């Protein structure tokens, strides 16, 4: 058995607290139970919050998916603008020196003028077509009116003819 001075020196180095009375141990256990209950409530509140956030995230993903599809459809149906001002065509930076660039600028300007002239010709042709259709409709209305007038004359002639047949007389215009 070691000497009593050695044991006290070892326990002093380890700093072991002196034994506590039973009453303090019970109080410590009660405090642990209370704090465990509090932590359990916090845990349940946090898990409920996480579930709510996850549900919101799912709804946001669905909504963003719908918006993405609508945007893709809108961009697919959108007409591209070929005359967007890109002379060199690829949109990358180039050194603007020499006659080749000036030639490309002239060609681009001429191509743009041709496209505008073609668009003007199309609108004029469309306007001429609309006017021709209106004239045809007016002429068709006149023809329909003439047909109706002819039908009325035929009906009147047939009535006179039937009247002459009934009287057994000769009918002439």
Tens of pLDDT along the chain (173 residues) come to 455 555 555 555 556 566 667 678 788 888 889 999 999 999 999 999 999 999 999 999 999 999 999 999 988 888 766 555 566 666 666 666 777 777 888 888 898 999 999 999 999 999 999 999 999 999 999 999 999 999 999 999 999 889 888 888 887 76
pLDDT computed for residue 83 by the predictor: 54
Q: What is the pLDDT of residues 28-59, one digit of tens each?
A: 888 889 999 999 999 999 999 999 999 999 99
User: Domain residues of the chain, as ranges?
Assistant: 19-78, 97-173
Residue 39 half-sphere exposure toward CB, CA atoms < 13 A: 6
pLDDT computed for residue 1 by the predictor: 46
CA distance 118 to 108: 15
DSSP state of 97: -
Residues 6+ apart with CB under 8 A from 164: 170, 171
């Amino acid at each position: 058995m070691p000497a009593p001075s050695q044991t006290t020196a070892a326990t002093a180095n380890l700093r072991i607290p002196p034994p506590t009375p039973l009453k303090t141990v019970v109080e410590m256990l009660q405090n642990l139970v209370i704090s465990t209950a509090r932590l359990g409530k916090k845990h349940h509140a946090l898990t409920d919050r996480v579930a709510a956030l996850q549900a919101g995230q799912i709804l946001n993903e669905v909504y963003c998916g719908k918006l993405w599809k609508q945007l893709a459809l809108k961009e697919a149906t959108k007409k591209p603008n070929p005359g967007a001002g890109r002379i060199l065509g690829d949109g990358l930076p180039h050194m603007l020196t020499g006659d080749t660039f000036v030639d490309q600028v002239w060609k681009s300007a001429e191509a743009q003028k041709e496209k505008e002239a073609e668009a003007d010709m199309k609108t004029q042709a469309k306007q001429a077509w609309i006017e021709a259709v209106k004239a045809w409709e007016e002429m068709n209305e006149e023809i329909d009116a003439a047909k109706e007038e002819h039908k009325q004359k035929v009906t009147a002639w047939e009535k006179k003819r039937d009247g002459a047949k009934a009287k057994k007389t000769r009918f002439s215009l």
